[in-house]
């Protein structure tokens, strides 16, 4: 009895420690919400806020914008209006509308994003617990997700991908529940979640065939168990056996009862009906203005198959499908330690499934693992082949990776004999993972580089100076713009010929300083110099950048601002210049300022 009490107390203490660490990482999410001091440095946030400001619930629900779903705009505007009404009520001012202003919508939106990501942590716990029925494993899964820097970083942005991440996780959990209990209510829940996802972003339409397949297999799967059993008995088959199996399959299809067919029809109908009604409620103008909706969605789909359509997607030309995502997940998003645990866990789960899918006691766990893995691998295979590869497109994969990584750590611990060594090993691994995350989080403990550069410009560049800035990038300085004159360099423009070279040279003659606010232009354009290899090429622009960086132009670099992740205690910088542009360009871009100098004779 005393041993049991001691064990229980020890488990409770471990649980408390893990929970405290999870709450610590949730606190870090809220603590870094104002990472840009309210200067709107994320373009997707700016768009979401501008669209939301057109709305007025419930007088005007038409966003006149369908690149993304309407639900995130309704939630943002509706939350702000509720906060305005509540504040106005207590202050006795019915016209109070501060929270619906451009700047305050940013604050409200980021709080919503952080709350949604905190909710994902809870869902990760429930998914892991539902599959494995182990509370310590579920807590570890939640901890690994909460400590993933990419999840922390994106919780500071009001972007639609949070809706996709949260409701995809809920959808997958609901699919697991449906697998164990195939009721109309469960398929209706799947439909509601699917409708919410489509009202947030059109990409989750890819789940539709997977869900329908799961429903069909769940209804009719038991009818074909004889094939599975026969396959287990006979790994090799001659032609006669293959023909016999085909005949058995045809006979079995004919024997399928009308009741099962009707059941499948009802389940699919309830799913599709709930999905459509939910979509109609949360995105009514997607139906009312269906032609505009289809046109704008079509353009987004076209972009995902052709990186040349928009200037900001040129960075993905020649990037390898799947491998590009995996590289960025490994190095920056999930981190090397967590990714290693994920790989170990993934192969360990394959072994577990192969060993247990036919055993009575663990068969259901093996089936749930297979189903959950199938849904996420399917997502990765479909999205991973896209020509445009923003890191946030893989955000819905992080809950799955956290669950698998937690299993990976558990499987490694099984190979360690003593409890003491298990504690040392698990503490070391988790500490290294957390230190890696905190190294990246330190970018939020220092001022945003655009803020720092703005202050430097004000203090070091005389008022009235002419500043050259690049189009398709945020203009610096963020403040004091009335003190300076600006010349915009249209470096993305084509054709990239001698005429463009002359125009750039003429523009540079007029300016005193040249500002590169990020790597948005010079990184992709310097790679697209080969006109025999690329559909769009920039040999002249690439040479311009090479000359600028080598000092061959009449400009000398006078300031550079970086905010690299730094390993605590050792102050070793992690150079992430080669990370996906969207990982650095919002909250810690590298900025360079060049000053015109006299030509050397």
Is residue 22 within 8 A of residue 142, CB to CB? The reply is: yes
pLDDT digits (tens, 9 = 90+) for 502-557: 999 999 999 999 999 999 999 999 999 999 999 999 999 999 999 999 999 999 99
Instruction: Please tell me the predicted confidence (pLDDT) of residue 188.
Output: 97
Q: By the 8 A CB rule, do 165 and 150 touch?
A: no
Termini Cα distance of the chain: 91
261: how many CB neighbours lie within 10 A of its CB? 12
Q: Compare 87 and 335 and report the one with higher pLDDT.
A: 335
23-57: per-residue pLDDT in tens? 999 999 999 999 999 999 999 999 999 999 999 98
Banded model confidence at residue 251, pLDDT cuts 50, 70, 90: low
Range name among 195-199, 263-267, 327-331 with the lowest pLDDT average: 263-267
Q: Provide the pLDDT for residue 29.
A: 97
Residue 112 has pLDDT above 60, yes or no: yes
Going by C-beta distance under 8 Å and a sequence separation of 6 or more, which residues neighbour residue 17? Answer: none
Count the neighbouring beta carbons within 10 Å of the beta carbon of residue 448.
23
Q: Is the separation of the CB atoms in 79 and 158 below 8 Å?
A: no
Mean pLDDT over all residues of the chain?
A: 91
Contacts of 408 by beta carbon, 8 Å cutoff, 6+ apart: 340, 341, 342, 343, 344, 345, 346, 348
Q: Percent of the chain, pLDDT > 90?
A: 81
Q: Computed over its alpha carbons, how large is the radius of gyration of the chain?
A: 28
**Maximum C-alpha span of the chain:** 93
Nearest CA among 157, 164, 205 for reference residue 71: 164
In this predicted structure, the answer to whether residue 176 has a pLDDT above a threshold of 60 is yes
Phi, psi of 59 (to 5 degrees): -75, -40
Q: Which residue has the higher pLDDT, 569 or 223?
A: 569
Q: In 3D, which of 126, 123, 273 has the Cα closest to residue 192?
A: 273
pLDDT at 95: 67
Please, are residues 365 and 124 in contact by the beta-carbon 8 Å criterion? no
* pLDDT interval class at 598 (50, 70, 90): confident
Coil, helix or strand at residue 183: coil
Cβ atoms within 10 Å, residue 599: 7
> For residue 1, what pLDDT is reported?
47
Q: Is 210 exposed, middle or buried (0-12, 13-18, 19+ CB in 10 A)?
A: middle
Q: Which residues pair with 516 in a beta bridge?
A: 592
Buried b / exposed e across 164-175, counting CB within 10 Å, b at 16+?
bbbbbbbbbbbb
- Predicted confidence band of residue 245 (pLDDT cuts 50, 70, 90): low
The full 3-state SS of 492-545, as one line of letters, equals CCCCCCHHHHHHHHHHHHHCCEEEECCCCCHHHHHHCCCCCCCCCCCHHHHHHH
In this predicted structure, what is the pLDDT of residue 426? 93
Kind of pairing between the strands at 513-516 and 591-596: antiparallel
SS3 content of the chain, % helix, strand, coil (to 5): 65, 5, 30
Residue 258 is predicted with a pLDDT of 76
404 Cβ neighbours under 8 A, 6+ residues apart: 342, 345, 346, 349, 373
The length of the chain, given as a count of residues: 601
Q: Indicate the helix (H) or strand (E) that contains 489.
A: strand 485-489
d(CA 518, CA 589): 5
Q: The dihedral of CA 577, 580, 585, 587: what is its sign?
A: negative
Q: What angle, 0 to 180 degrees and rounded to 10, lies between the N-to-C axes of helices 336-356 and 419-441?
A: 130
In the prediction, which pLDDT does 23 show? Answer: 96
Task: Answer whether 468's CB lies under 8 Å from 514's CB.
Answer: yes
Task: Return phi, psi of residue 513, to 5°.
Answer: -135, 150
Whose CA is closest to 149, among 304, 322, 28?
28
pLDDT at 124: 98
Buried b (16+ CB within 10 A) or exposed e, 328-351: bbbbbbbbebbbbbbebbbebbee
């Amino acid at each position: 009895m005393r041993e049991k009490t001691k064990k229980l107390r020890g488990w409770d203490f471990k649980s408390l420690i893990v929970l405290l660490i999870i709450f610590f990482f949730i606190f870090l999410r809220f603590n870094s919400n104002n990472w840009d001091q309210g200067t709107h440095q994320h373009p997707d946030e700016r768009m979401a806020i501008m669209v939301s400001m057109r709305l007025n619930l419930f007088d005007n629900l038409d966003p006149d914008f369908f690149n993304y779903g309407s639900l995130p705009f309704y939630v943002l505007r509706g939350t702000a209006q509720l906060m305005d009404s509540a504040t106005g009520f207590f202050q006795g001012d019915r016209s109070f509308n501060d929270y619906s202003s451009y700047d305050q919508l940013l604050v409200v939106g980021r709080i919503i994003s952080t709350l949604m990501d905190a909710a994902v942590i809870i869902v990760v716990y429930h998914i892991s617990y539902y599959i494995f029925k182990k509370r310590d494993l579920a807590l570890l899964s939640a901890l690994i997700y909460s400590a993933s820097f990419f999840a922390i970083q994106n919780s500071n942005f009001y972007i639609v991908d949070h809706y996709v991440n949260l409701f995809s996780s809920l959808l997958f959990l609901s699919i697991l529940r449906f697998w164990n209990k195939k009721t109309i209510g469960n398929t209706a829940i799947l439909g509601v979640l699917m409708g919410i996802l489509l009202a947030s972003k059109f990409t989750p339409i890819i789940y539709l065939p997977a869900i329908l397949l799961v429903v069909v297999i769940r209804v009719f799967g038991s009818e074909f168990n004889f094939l599975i059993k026969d396959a287990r008995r006979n790994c090799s088959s001659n032609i006669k056996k293959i023909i016999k199996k085909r005949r058995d399959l045809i006979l079995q299809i004919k024997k399928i009862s009308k009741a099962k067919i009707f059941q499948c029809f009802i389940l699919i109908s309830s799913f599709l009906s709930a999905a459509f009604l939910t979509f109609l409620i949360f995105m009514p103008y997607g139906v009312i203005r269906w032609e505009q909706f289809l046109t704008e969605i079509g353009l987004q789909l076209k972009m995902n198959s052709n990186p040349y359509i928009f200037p900001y997607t040129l960075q993905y030309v020649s990037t390898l499908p799947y491998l590009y995502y995996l590289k960025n997940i490994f190095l920056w998003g999930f981190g090397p330690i967590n990714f290693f645990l994920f790989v170990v866990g993934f192969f360990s789960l394959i072994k577990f499934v192969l060993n247990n899918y036919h055993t009575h006691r663990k068969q259901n766990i093996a089936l749930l693992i297979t189903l959950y893995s199938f849904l996420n691998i399917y997502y990765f295979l479909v999205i991973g082949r896209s020509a445009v590869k923003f890191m946030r497109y893989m955000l819905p994969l992080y809950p799955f990776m956290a669950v698998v990584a937690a299993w990976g750590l558990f499987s490694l611990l099984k190979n360690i004999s003593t409890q003491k060594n298990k504690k040392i090993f698990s503490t070391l691994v988790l500490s290294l993972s957390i230190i890696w995350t905190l190294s990246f989080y330190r970018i939020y403990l220092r001022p945003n580089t655009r803020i720092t550069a703005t202050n430097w410009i004000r203090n070091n560049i005389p008022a009235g100076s002419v500043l050259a800035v690049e189009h398709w990038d945020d203009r610096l300085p963020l403040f004091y713009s009335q003190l300076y004159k600006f010349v915009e360099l249209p470096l993305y423009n084509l054709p990239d010929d001698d005429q463009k070279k002359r125009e750039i040279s003429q523009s540079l003659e007029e300016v005193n300083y040249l500002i590169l606010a990020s790597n948005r232009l010079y990184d992709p354009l310097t790679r697209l110099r080969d006109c025999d290899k690329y559909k769009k090429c920039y040999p002249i622009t690439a040479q311009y950048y090479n000359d600028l960086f080598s000092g061959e132009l009449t400009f000398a670099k006078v300031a550079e601002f970086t905010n690299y992740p730094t390993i605590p205690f050792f102050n070793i910088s992690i150079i992430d210049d080669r990370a996906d542009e969207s990982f650095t360009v919002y909250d810690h871009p590298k900025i360079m300022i060049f000053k015109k100098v006299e030509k050397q004779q």
